[in-house]
Structure 1
Amino acid sequence: MNQPTVSKGWTVLALLALLAVPVDAQVKDYRDIKFPKLPEREVPRPEVHTLSNGLQIFLLEDHELPLIRVTGRIRTGSNYEPADKVGLADFVGQVLREGGTRSMDGDAMNDYLESRAAFVETGMGGDVGTASMNCLKEDFDDVLAVFADVLRNPAFAEDKLALAKQQAKTRIARRNDNIGGIAGREFARLIYGADSPLTQMTEYATVASITRDDLVAWHQRYYHPNNIMLGVVGDFDSIAMKSKLEAAFGDWPKGPDANLPEIVVNEPEPGVHFIEKNDVTQAYVRLGHRGIRTDNPDYYSVQMMNEIFGGGYAARLFSNVRSKKGLAYSVRGSIGSGFLREGIFSVALSTKSETMGASIDALREEIDAIVAAPPTGEEMARAKESILNSFVFNSTSMSQILGQQLTYAYYGYPADFLERYRSGIEKVTREDVARVAKEYIHPDKLVTLVVGKSADFDRPVS
């Protein structure tokens, strides 16, 4: 078979052309590559309406797929349950759906929804109750009827409550199996206080004290239309959807406003604490103190500081504690924030038992350094680029966008919170980061917690 040929003359010319190109034009340092600024994406906003009974609805059309999703926020939460009945709110969130309604028991509801490839779910967080449904557009009316029935007429079946209580007792029995779980739980109790509503724990006695009547009373106290927000996203017409929601919920009478009490976060007492756990080869170390609220004017500067301090592979904690000193596979640290109250400033790692003391020293050195040493220009550029480039992932779907809008509205934050976040990050300077590190990180107020096997430590906990 004849093969194509290239004349020697052309080959020589091609080689000469390549040699004529400067070396630095062929190989360019990645740090010198300039990328164009990402275009700003306009995030759609849902229509917002309030029904005559106070129920707020957020409507966001998305005709890409023949699906409709409803997400609900109920003004309640486990942080507001009585101390002698801890676990009650979680049981409400679970049995509200699993226990069925007065017209359809939970098992029949499972079959009904499964035959339509739909779901209805309920749950409970610390400061919010949740409810959601998802279905094909063609099944929406049927599934909405079930969803409304669950919210309005739960049966709280005794057998489903008994099952939920048994599951809770199993969780109590196993909650000390995981060293990280112990550290996270007990560190929060040290920061917020063991008696705080934020850290109260379900116990066998509190589980035993909870009855079906307690669940009914909780529902009657909080589950009213004027305490609920519903968001709908999917393939629908907004005018028609508003009418459907009015038909499903409009005759639900208003009830008392939730009026959830403010939970005050006190300043924790500095100190060193240790929990013995003899069946582990790792020590879990955590240091920190009280953080900030999300509505703090310095929020954006704090987020930049977090990125530089503990935000990833290039952050100071990872670079120095993991990569250079080899003391931990994973290390993290940040000033946490909360929508309603202060979060927690926390620096944490797990390490070999034999390097527990060295790890504490390394973490304290990094905490001192972030307060004392302002960020470099390179750190600022990398942190800002990282945060802004990840911004696009905050709105990857219409469902995610709707969920964010519900959250902001529920906690009283502006609808353009995300847009403000982006512009706020862009304006942060080196001086801002240096200032907030000094203002919000206090090495002299640290709470230190170590969990592990003390016999294997390199030194006593101190």
Structure 2
Amino acid sequence: MSRLPRRGAHPIRTAVFSLLGMTALAAISAQAQTTTVVPPDAKAARQAQPWTQIPIPPLPAFHPEPPKRVELKNGVIILLEEDHELPFISGTIDIRGGSRDVPAAKVGLIGLYGETWRTSGTTTQDGDKLDDLLEAKAAKVETGGDIDSTSVSWSCLTKDEDQVFGIAVDVLEHPAFNDQKLQLAKQQAVAGIVRRNDDVEEVAQREATKLVFGADSPYAREPEIATVMSVTVDDLKAWHAKTVAPNNIIISVEGDFDSATMEKKLREAFESLPRGAASPKPGGEFAGPKPGVYFVNKEDVNQSNVWIVGLGTDRRNPDFYALAVMNEIFSGGFGSRLFQQVRTKMGLAYSVSGGYGASYDHPGMFYTTALTKSPTTVTATKAMLDEINDLKTKPFTDAELTSAKDQLLNSFIFRYDSKEKVLTEATTLEFYGYPPDFLEKYRAAVEAVTTADLERVAKKYIDPSKLAVLVVGNESQLGTPLTELNMGQPHPIDITIPMPAGMRQQMGPGN
């Protein structure tokens, strides 16, 4: 937890400064008897300001060299990025389809799938023996899952590439899905579920996401003990058979290899695979949160996590660039309006941040969040709401615009300062179907944003009447009631973890 720095003065430094101060004061007193006093304005005019003379050259042209792209006849996309700096090769096989695509009764399946897939090994190699083999070579083959994808990845020394890549392909094409490994994964998942209310910040983020997307939304729902325990080995096999198809796969490889040789190897491994059913396109309605105040009572804390949330946008929105600049001015860092007002000037928060979220294929989340002392919960929330309102009413200045653009563009390049990062971004664009020049257009689009654009998007997208306020804190210590926010009676949120029959008695009270 971050805290404000202690303001007490250092006693030794104070004594030294006092001695120096007395010496300087005596010298100044003597000098004043013989020196003509110069008017303050004249002194200021004579003061040098060399920092204002530092030339700032324009940013150079941004043209990152894209990875080599190959598309096989069956739909497999291959992206290759040579990098001979180290004798090392890493690759990832991304497969479309993730946790948002599983039935509600099986939420948690993708996490179990990603864990069991690798630990089970293959039909020809036991998972534990694979661990020993790979460890001896300082290599890795891993599997995992996410909201919209699953993956197999590998990394190794160049000299071991053929063997380690062969293991990765074997894991992809011939998984074993051992029931014993699944049971172990279930135990670990259940252990995480019963502890999910321990971290207050995680509780706040989880419940804020539910407010924006809906508790039953694929983008917000949580695995429960019942849904995890319902997953079977047959479920894992069925998921694998449904999603692992060439037309759902993107393979990205980076490191010490020859592109022509690597392409030949990948063609031999994947080109003969038959096409399968395409992964479903994401859909659904995104209405945003129901306005109001929501409260989670945590009696074991003396601080409040405050989240003010609404619906964001997606990156295909033509206003994405203007919203990015607006967001930088609003909450981009220490110099942002939000930080300067709520923390620096008013001293109401240990930390304060925000963002106008933009996901690749669905709306993100607009949020403003702060960690504050329990008694200042309402005051801090009002200050945050005021800053959100000011986006519509307080004019954006040229200085703010220039600073925000500089921050965005100067930091943007660090997302592409290595070949590995360039490959990662290219893979992301490929995965979501964005044009390959999307990154190059980013700079020009940001540079073109004007203060008029900022005022336009703020009026269009910022609507305080559509926002929800979530407070996770200790009700007995709030002091000022949440009704003072003038947003109606707070809606209590129950974060009790549903337990199967008989399990709650085993866990004890408080769970």
Question: Normalised by the size of structure 1, how large is the TM-score?
Answer: 0.93
Q: Which amino acid aligns with 2:54?
A: I
Does 1:125 pair with 2:143? no
User: Of 400, 414, 423, which aligns to 1:379?
Assistant: 400
Which consecutive aligned stretches of 4+ in structure 1 deviate over 6 angstroms post-superposition? Answer: 22-26
Counterpart in the other structure of 2:487: none
Whole-angstrom CA distance in 2 between matches of 1:33 and 1:300: 29
Superposed CA offset, 1:211-230 (max 9, x none): 11100000001011221000
Alignment of 1:284-363 (within 5 A): 284-363=305-384
State the alpha-carbon separation in 1 of the partners of residues 47 and 166 from structure 2. Answer: 66
Which amino acid in the other structure matches residue 366 of structure 2? Answer: F
1:216 to 230, 234, 237: 237
Task: Give the counterpart of 1:100 among 94, 97, 121.
Answer: 121
| Aligned ranges 1:270-285 → 2 under 5 Å | 270-285=291-306
Q: Percent identity?
A: 44
Aligned to 2:418: 397
Farther-moved stretch of structure 1 (151-160 vs 211-220): 151-160
Task: Give the counterpart of 2:212 among 185, 191, 194.
Answer: 191
Query: What is the one-letter code of the residue matched to 1:273?
Result: Y
Tell me by how many angstroms 1:253 deviates: 2.7
> Could you tell me how far 1:25 is from its partner in structure 2?
8.5
Q: Is residue 260 of structure 2 the alignment partner of residue 239 of structure 1?
A: yes
Picking from 218, 240, 250, the partner of 2:271 is: 250
Equivalent residue runs for 1:18-37 within 5 Å: 27-28=48-49, 30-31=51-52, 33-37=54-58
1:178 alignment partner AA: D
Tell me, yes or no, if the aligned pair for 2:63 and 2:440 is still in contact at 8 Å.
no
Q: Distance in 1 between matches of 2:439 and 2:283?
A: 25
Name which of structure 1's ranges 348-357 and 365-374 shifts more when overlaid on structure 2: 365-374
Alpha-carbon distance, 1:137 to partner: 1.1
Structure 2 match to 1:268: 289
Matched AA of 1:294: R
Aligned positions of 1:195-206 closer than 5 A: 195-206=216-227
Q: Deviations over 1:251-275 (max 9, x none)?
A: 3332222224423322322111111
Q: Contact 1:284 / 1:351 at 8 angstroms: preserved in 2?
A: yes
Distance 1:376 1:100 in 2: 59
**In the alignment, residue 78 of structure 2 is paired with which amino acid?**
I
Q: Indicate how the Cα distance of structure 1 residues 29 and 455 shifts in structure 2: closer, same or farther if over 3 A, else same.
A: farther
Deviation of 1:391 (Å): 1.7
SS in 1 for 2:264: helix
Contiguous gaps of at least 5 residues in structure 1: 1-21
Task: Tell me the equivalent position of 2:4.
Answer: none
The question of whether the paired residues in 1 share the 8 Å contact of 2:62 and 2:440 is answered with no
Q: Considering only aligned residues, what root-mean-square deviation do their CA atoms show, in Å?
A: 1.6
Matched residue, 1:3 = none
Amino acid at match of 2:243: Y
Q: Deviations over 1:339-384 (max 9, x none)?
A: 1111111000010001001011100110111111121111111111
Residues 153-201 of structure 1, C-alpha deviations (whole Å, 9 max, x = no match) = 1111112111110111011111001111111111111111112121121
- Give 1:309 shift: 0.2
3-state SS of the aligned residue for 2:154?
strand
The aligned counterpart of 1:10 is none
Counterpart for residue 5 of structure 1: none
Find the aligned partners of 2:471 and 2:359 in 1 and give their Cα distance: 25
Residue 164 of structure 2, aligned match among 143, 146, 151: 143
1:32, distance to aligned residue in structure 2 (A): 5.1
d(CA) in 2 for partners of 1:268 and 1:162?
37
Inter-partner Cα distance in structure 1 for 2:268 and 2:448: 47
Q: TM-score, normalised by structure 2?
A: 0.84
Match of 1:233, as an amino acid? E
For this pair of structures, how many residues does the alignment match? Answer: 441
Shift of 1:40: 2.4
**Equivalent position of 1:60 in the other structure:** 81
Distance 2:452 2:116 in 1: 52
Conserved in 2, the CA contact under 8 Å of 1:91 and 1:164? yes
Q: Using the alignment, how far apart are the partners of 2:202 and 2:330 within structure 1?
A: 24
1:16 match:
none
Q: Which residue matches 1:364?
A: 385
Does structure 2 conserve the Cα–Cα contact (< 8 Å) formed by 1:227 and 1:258? yes
- CA deviations 1:316-351 (Å, max 9, x no partner) are 011000000001121011211111111111000010
8 Å contact from structure 1 (residues 374, 433) kept in 2: no
For residue 296 of structure 2, what is the amino acid of its counterpart? I
Match of 1:175 in 2: 196
Q: What amino acid is the match of 1:39? A: P
Distance across 1 between alignment mates of 2:44 and 2:305: 50
